[in-house]
Structure 1
Amino acid sequence: MASASRSLKVPRTLYDTCLSAYIIDRANMTEEKTRNLPLNVQCDVYFKLHEENEICQLTALFSELAIIGRLLKAQNKRLRLIKSFQAVMSHNNRVAEQLKKAFINICENAVSVNTENIELGLRLGSFLSEAGWFFESEEILRWCSILLDSMISRYPTEVKYERLELEVLHKLLHAQTVYCLFEQAQSTYYKASNLVDSLRAKQQVLNLAGLYAEFSVLYFFRSQYDEAFKWSNEALKELKPNLPAGVVIDVLRQASKACVVKRKFQKAELLIKQAVTRAVQAYDFSHPKYADTLLDYGFYLLNYDSISHSVTVYKAALDVRKEIFGELNLQVAVANEDLAYALYVHEYSSGRFTDAQCKAEKAIETMAKILPADHLLLASSKRVLALILEEVAIDMNAGMVSNDACKAMLDKAEELHKTALRLTMAAFGEENVQTAKHYGNLGRLYQSMKKYREAEEMHLKAITIKEKLLGEEDYEVALSLGHLASLYNYHMNHYRQAERLYLRSINIGHKLFGPGYSGLEYDYRGLLHVYNEMEDAQKVADYHDKIRRWRALREAQNRSDRPVLLNLEPLISIEEILGKFKLFK
């Protein structure tokens, strides 16, 4: 029946017809015959197996290190190989583990170290990282580094081994950082830094744009934003017109993210829009690199208060990643989480959290299948789901749903927040922005649970940590000030304290985002309540007027907004980008 259904299909080209005929002829489709075909044709044969849903056969083939190692040499077939490999992983997610073990077995049993094995490991580790299987990638690349250490010790004057190890360490650092192996990543960072010094001492010409961008990624993941910004600037200085498009794009998008967290939005916008434009021109709208840039574009938009546009961009990024990776992939889970949070922020005033909750639960479900139970990446997804559940419970309570149902949902949110805090504390300790965020989230939850003293304690902890790490006029500080003000205002009757906190939060919002900032509404309405309770009629009238003017600004802004994905910036040269970057605030 399967063969008959294939015969009814009308191939688009003669080449496609030949591929279909080749894979149907099982008796003649041997590995030896396939291996003798041109490499590009071999890749197309295996992709045709994927298209025809011959996943069992493809799984058996892709479990062979020799086959994968050969196919990875065809760089122009990378996207097809990723799609085919992900189909195999969705069918049997042990294949990456099998390939890793096969590679390590070769390393352990080799009579002598040779660069051929190292280059195989570098190709395989890099590919698995691109495909979203970072744990296996990390182990393979770590073995490559061990082998190269041996070669460098044996041949200390041969700089080719040091140059190769620098390339390995670059890829290794990426896998370790994304997989949150921060102790190992720090060691790799120091090792790479020392190797750069050694090569420079030997008068070697290096371009370190990509490596410095990875340094920035490491510090960004650890919420050490000053260092992340510093290294992203160093990466920008290393940009040259002849660098591969992928390196340039990665540098631009990481530098943009570092600018966002430092609230340098003009610089961030310049960089991320150029990264998106370059991804479209160098690849296309269905490529992983385009999805990567969209996620970072969404991050910029969300932080710059263009919330509805951020949702649009996050949805587009998720669609691209799902098309490439399916559902069972860490990169898709991360995109689901990002979209869930953007939807939560977007629908905060409407209370329509169904889609946000679905995306957050999907992210956790996928991560739970791939990651260890206590993995740090789960902390962020659990935090997002907890925030959503809290708002759903509040709306249920307002809708006169039973107290038991509301309590159960709030208890679930508390469990998720505490788990996220525990995982974050274990990774970063007390004085970290992520830890502070979890304290603040618990503070809001305890306010909803009517545990007001506990809520105050959590908010004060969050403010103290954020002010120490980010300064007194950061966006994150403003959020926590507004949350504590709400507690004092609506539940503890500390109106003067609430007033001072609201005014501080409003001042920060104005400085960072201008008078049309969406978050101002909540602070204005909070002050209205304060002045009503204090019976200050003049200020009540003043803030009614402020809210009217704020609403007019928001409506005008929404009318003037253009669709963000239909108005890409024209491509400009690297020299022009760097020139503008220096001029912008």
Structure 2
Amino acid sequence: MRVRSAKSEGLSYQEMGKYENALSFYNQALVIREKELGSEHFDVAKTLSNMSSTYRRMGKYEDAISVCQRSLEIKEKILGPDNPSIAITLTNLAEIYRDIGMYEEGATLCQRALEIKERVHRSDHPSIATTLYILGDLYKNIGKHEEALALCQRSFEIKGRAHKCDHPAIANTSNVLAEIYECIGDFKESLIIYQQTLEIREKVLGKEHPDVATTLNDLAGLYRKMGKYEKAQLLYQRSLEIRETVLGSNHPDTIKTLNALSELYKSMSKI
């Protein structure tokens, strides 16, 4: 299997949520590229960047950080500090830091990525939209809700012009928007956006995709805050089933949903 085919297969499996398969093909692509091009080639760095995203989704955060940092080092050596490809890897690394709770560090990386992208792209470039919503997510976790909302609204507007209304990229931003509205206590708006996000993800990705499980988990959390425990229970259970099947019982996201369901049962027992 040649490198382009291996990379293409890896991307396809990652989009489907089949991360073990994706990683296998990325590893094949990496071996070929390092052998044919050398370990410091730009194409090696691109493969490493793809691998880091897969490792992150698998919950293998140390591996994700390691390969992402290697990708960043290669790109900075070849391209200099201000290339848009470097901004992509910075954004990937920021996502990993977000997932492990290093929000300030992630925000710093994302801010640098955004500065690079805004210098080299037009203001409504889709790549900018990606960094905007991830930075918004980081700000949300830091407690900067107004800044987070503004960033995500801008991201949503850019993506709305670039994609169809049911594109997965729009759902990525809308899910974070729903989280922000939940954080500021606007449960009505949050509920509407979560439901729209779930509809898009189920339609485009399939009902057993990990991103569907994410929205189910988040929507369940909102219902729990609203005191709608039975609805929350059903959604948590469905999210848990998907995560156990697709990600495994030891994945951090699976454990997160299991713990949330346990806390819900405690709340229900007090009624």
How far has the Cα of 1:365 moved from its partner? 0.6
How far has the Cα of 1:382 moved from its partner? 4.3
Q: Distance in 2 between matches of 1:241 and 1:232?
A: 14
SS at match of 1:472: coil
How far has the Cα of 1:372 moved from its partner? 4.2
Check conservation: 1:288, 1:321, Cα contact below 8 A. Answer: yes
Q: Distance in 2 between matches of 1:378 and 1:264?
A: 23
Task: Determine whether 1:376 maps to 2:167.
Answer: yes
How far has the Cα of 1:250 moved from its partner? 0.5
How far has the Cα of 1:231 moved from its partner? 1.1
Query: Structure 1: which 5+ residue stretches go unaligned?
Result: 1-195, 197-207, 398-406, 486-500, 503-522, 534-585
Aligned to 2:30: 236
The verdict on how the C-alpha distance between 1:267 and 1:423 changes in structure 2, with shifts beyond 3 A counting, is: closer
Check conservation: 1:341, 1:384, Cα contact below 8 A. Answer: no
The verdict on how the C-alpha distance between 1:419 and 1:388 changes in structure 2, with shifts beyond 3 A counting, is: closer
How far has the Cα of 1:378 moved from its partner? 4.4
Alpha-carbon displacement from aligned partner over 1:318-353 (angstroms, at most 9, x marks no partner): 111111113111111111112112222x32xx4x31
The verdict on how the C-alpha distance between 1:255 and 1:389 changes in structure 2, with shifts beyond 3 A counting, is: closer
Alpha-carbon displacement from aligned partner over 1:220-247 (angstroms, at most 9, x marks no partner): 1222111111112112221326628321
Aligned to 1:310: 106
User: Partner letter of residue 215 of structure 1?
Assistant: E
Check conservation: 1:421, 1:439, Cα contact below 8 A. Answer: no
Larger Rg: 1
Aligned to 2:192: 414
Aligned to 1:273: 69
Task: Determine whether 1:219 maps to 2:10.
Answer: no
The verdict on how the C-alpha distance between 1:353 and 1:457 changes in structure 2, with shifts beyond 3 A counting, is: same
Q: Distance in 1 between matches of 2:82 and 2:94?
A: 17
Aligned residues: 267
User: Partner letter of residue 240 of structure 1?
Assistant: E
How far has the Cα of 1:393 moved from its partner? 3.8
Aligned to 2:232: 455
Residue in structure 2 matching 1:361, options 153, 156, 168: 153
Q: Distance in 1 between matches of 2:134 and 2:89?
A: 13
RMSD of the alignment, in Å?
A: 2.8
Aligned to 2:253: 476
The verdict on how the C-alpha distance between 1:225 and 1:302 changes in structure 2, with shifts beyond 3 A counting, is: same
The verdict on how the C-alpha distance between 1:388 and 1:435 changes in structure 2, with shifts beyond 3 A counting, is: closer
The verdict on how the C-alpha distance between 1:339 and 1:328 changes in structure 2, with shifts beyond 3 A counting, is: same
After superposition, residues 1-16 of structure 1 pair within 5 angstroms as: none
How far has the Cα of 1:424 moved from its partner? 3.5
Residue in structure 1 matching 2:223, options 423, 446, 452: 446
The verdict on how the C-alpha distance between 1:306 and 1:389 changes in structure 2, with shifts beyond 3 A counting, is: closer
Q: Distance in 2 between matches of 1:261 and 1:394?
A: 29
Check conservation: 1:357, 1:385, Cα contact below 8 A. Answer: no
Report the TM-score, using the length of structure 2 for normalisation. 0.86
Q: Distance in 2 between matches of 1:529 and 1:458?
A: 16
After superposition, residues 94-109 of structure 1 pair within 5 angstroms as: none
Q: Distance in 1 between matches of 2:84 and 2:69?
A: 17
Q: Distance in 2 between matches of 1:382 and 1:298?
A: 16
Check conservation: 1:213, 1:235, Cα contact below 8 A. Answer: yes
Residue in structure 2 matching 1:434, options 191, 211, 215: 211
How far has the Cα of 1:211 moved from its partner? 4.2
User: Partner letter of residue 374 of structure 1?
Assistant: C
SS at match of 1:240: helix
After superposition, residues 184-583 of structure 1 pair within 5 angstroms as: 208-240=2-34, 243=37, 245-344=41-140, 346-347=141-142, 350=143, 352-369=144-161, 371-394=162-185, 407=188, 410=189, 413-425=191-203, 427-482=204-259, 485=260
The verdict on how the C-alpha distance between 1:243 and 1:211 changes in structure 2, with shifts beyond 3 A counting, is: farther
Q: Distance in 2 between matches of 1:415 and 1:307?
A: 24
How far has the Cα of 1:374 moved from its partner? 2.3
Check conservation: 1:249, 1:275, Cα contact below 8 A. Answer: yes
How far has the Cα of 1:416 moved from its partner? 4.4
User: Partner letter of residue 276 of structure 1?
Assistant: L
Of Structure 1 and Structure 2, which has the larger fraction of its residues in helix?
2
Alpha-carbon displacement from aligned partner over 1:79-123 (angstroms, at most 9, x marks no partner): xxxxxxxxxxxxxxxxxxxxxxxxxxxxxxxxxxxxxxxxxxxxx
How far has the Cα of 1:248 moved from its partner? 1.2
User: Partner letter of residue 251 of structure 1?
Assistant: T
The verdict on how the C-alpha distance between 1:381 and 1:432 changes in structure 2, with shifts beyond 3 A counting, is: closer
Query: Structure 2: which 5+ residue stretches go unaligned?
Result: none
